[in-house]
Structure 1
Amino acid sequence: MDQRILVPFDGSKPSTVALTHALEVHPGSAITALYVADANGLGPMEGDRAEIPEEEADRASEVFEEVRSRAEVYEATVTTDVRAGDPAETIVEYADAESMDQIVMGSHGRSGLSRILTGSVAEEVVREAPVSVTLARSR
């Protein structure tokens, strides 16, 4: 059965590992790569793509080139989308609103004090997501 898979993608190594994992493990599934412009530094806005600053839209276009390149290797089509907001909250809300079956995301692998100080988007998504979450770690 084809699933609807959400892959939060920011161009980092962990997000690239997650995209590769989704393409390998879920061939034929409808995969969406979501770039979240962190609204914490963008002023008052919530989720509306029309309000995403040009530099963030340009960054999303750049990272989606990597998405297209990876998809081509696997002869797959990956849909891309951009949203603005708190990353974890936006990922969870998007998965729910778009009826995703699963979220596949990377983990930066922080532990101890670093994780306590910076928080973990992946950890929050795992706690709050309405669907199963797979964390893909780089080796």
Structure 2
Amino acid sequence: MHGELLAAAQASAKSRNVSCDVVIVDDIAALGDIANQISQAAEGSHAQLVVIGTHGRRGVTRLLMGSVAESLVRQCKVPVMLVRAPQET
């Protein structure tokens, strides 16, 4: 499913003449610090922008669950664009 979604996003970018490469970080060792692994992958691939989804959680829920997106924004040397997930109904 994720592969299809990423392929569709890549095709959409290319149809608008935007150069796009997709890198999937799927390393079990990354589970300790996912934001750091994404940051390293972005820097290693010479990315110009990292796009990451966020659930937009606030308050106690965010405090308890943490935020990979927030950690990535704070530590990544590459610009990060946060895309908020649609609200669940």
- TM-score normalised to structure 2 length: 0.70
Residues in 1 aligned to 2:10 and 2:57: alpha-carbon distance in whole angstroms: 20
Report the equivalent of 1:28: 18
Matched position secondary structure for 1:110 = coil
- Give the % identical residues: 33
Q: Report the CA distance shift for 1:33/1:113 in structure 2 as closer, same or farther (over 3 A).
A: same
| C-alpha separation in 1, matches of 2:73 and 2:11 | 17
Determine the structure 2 residue equivalent to 1:52: none
**Within the alignment, does 1:102 sit opposite 2:49 as a pair?**
yes
Partner deviation per Cα, 1:95-125 (whole Å, 9 max, x = no partner): 1111111100100111100111111000000
Q: Residue by residue, what CA displacement relative to the aligned partner does 1:51-102 show, whole Å, maximum 9, x if unpaired?
A: xxxxxxxxxxxxxxxxxxxxxxxxxxxxxxxxx4521110011111111111
Unaligned runs of 5+ in 1: 1-9, 40-83
**Equivalences for residues 28-107 of structure 1 within 5 A:** 28-39=18-29, 84-85=30-31, 86-107=33-54
Q: Which residue of 1 aligns with 2:72?
A: 125
Task: Tell me which amino acid in the other structure corresponds to 2:83.
Answer: A
Describe the SS at the equivalent of 1:104.
strand
- Superposed CA RMSD in Å reads 3.0
Pair 27,125 (structure 1): closer, same or farther in 2 beyond 3 Å: farther
Aligned length: 81
Does 1:116 find its partner at 2:63?
Answer: yes
Return the alpha-carbon distance in structure 1 between the equivalents of residues 67 and 19 of structure 2. Answer: 27
Greater strand share, structure number: 1
* Structure 2: gaps (5+ residues): none
Indicate conservation of the 8 Å contact 2:51/2:82, yes or no: yes
Question: Using CA pairs below 8 Å that are at least 6 residues apart, which structure has the higher relative contact order?
Answer: 1
